[in-house]
Amino acid sequence: MNKAFPTIQDVARVANVSTATVSRALSYPERVSEETRRLVIEAIEQTGYRVNQIARNLRRKQTGAIVVLVPNIGNPFFSQILAGIEAAAARAGYSVLIADTRAPHAQEGQLADYLNSRADGLVILDGSLPRDLLPEPGRPRPPIVFCCEWIDGSALPSIRVDNEAGAAIAVDHLVGLGHRKIGHILGPADNVLTHARLAGVRGALAQHGLKERPDWFFAGNFLIEAGVEAARKWLALKDRPTAVTASSDVMACGFIAELNRAGVLTPRDVSVVGFDDIDIAAQFIPGITTIRQPRLEIGEGAAAALIGLIRNPDQAVDARPTMLPAELIVRGSTAALKRET
């Protein structure tokens, strides 16, 4: 092609299809056959045609962007989830804007703006948002998909790991090592993950016929300081659990480190299981046995689900959660219980 600015008509001519088919292949690739997509892609490469993304979005009355609402963007847990969202969005031609719902400047009015008009759709990782911000019948809003966290009773789709099953797997692992005195570090009291993981721990303890001791259940908030405080409470007990599950790897790190400062070693004196499998879990000393969340896959799945809703606004929304399996990763923070002789 000798034209300085190849047009969509040039692409259609080379691909031997109509301009409408080219437009459909670019805007809604899932609506054309694989062969047609191949012909259009090859024609675009041959002609050097470049899609004017801004103009296309204006015609479709879209911004070409999705917003991700994250509670505490500094939390290392979210890094791979955001990477998965970014990757899936980029493949579909969308940019990603990230907003921290817990930042000092994040006011309810600003969050409402995001939910109303600033993007083609939203991925929400914060299950503690005010319920009245969410869509109601007759209230126009962009599509929304929950990711990792969710709001109970909401009719919005969600992508998440099976938290209850994961927490039960952690208890099963400790019981398999001979532990019968098992404690737990909770997450924030108002968090859906806290309740799901607590239910898993309680269910597994009951399944194994083990006693649930209130003094072995320590308050937490997913932060390292909570793990430190839980360790101090563990040290103050006369009758201590020989193993502890933590609702996050970050708290497990704080728990293990504080006990180490007091001369208590993991797993010699107490076994510890975390949750999430953040990057530091494998490098910590000892490496943390944990419940892995497939964070990259969760992020990609959430973005793909959202983009599907954006491109097919008339499709019915399936409110049933998409549950990904939790996986036990065994490292050095757990060991068989030493029997007293």
Name which of 172, 187, 181 is nearest 210 in CA terms: 181
CATH number of the structural domain 65-160+295-324: 3.40.50.2300
Protein fold of 163-294: Rossmann fold (3.40.50)
Q: Which whole number is the average pLDDT over 151-155?
A: 84
List the chain domain ranges: 65-160+295-324, 163-294
Confidence of residue 30 (pLDDT cuts 50, 70, 90): low
What pTM was computed for the model? 0.77
* Helix residue ranges per DSSP H, the chain: 8-15, 19-27, 34-47, 53-59, 78-91, 108-116, 163-176, 192-207, 224-236, 249-261, 279-283, 295-311
Q: What is the pLDDT of residues 4-26, one digit of tens each?
A: 567 778 888 999 998 888 877 77
pLDDT digits (tens, 9 = 90+) for 214-268: 999 999 999 999 999 999 999 999 999 999 999 999 999 999 999 999 999 999 9
What average pLDDT score do residues 150-161 get? 89
pLDDT score of 106 more than 60: no
Mean pLDDT of the chain: 86
Assign 47 a pLDDT band (cuts: 50, 70, 90). confident
Higher pLDDT, 337 or 117: 337
pLDDT-wise least confident of 46-55, 160-169, 194-203, 223-232:
46-55
Whether the per-residue pLDDT at 131 is higher than 90: the answer is no
Does position 2 have pLDDT exceeding 70, yes or no?
no
Domains 65-160+295-324 and 163-294 equal at CATH topology level: yes
CA distances from 128 to 34, 154, 238, 248, 273 (A): 42, 12, 36, 17, 26
pLDDT of residue 118: 63
Predicted pLDDT of residue 18: 86
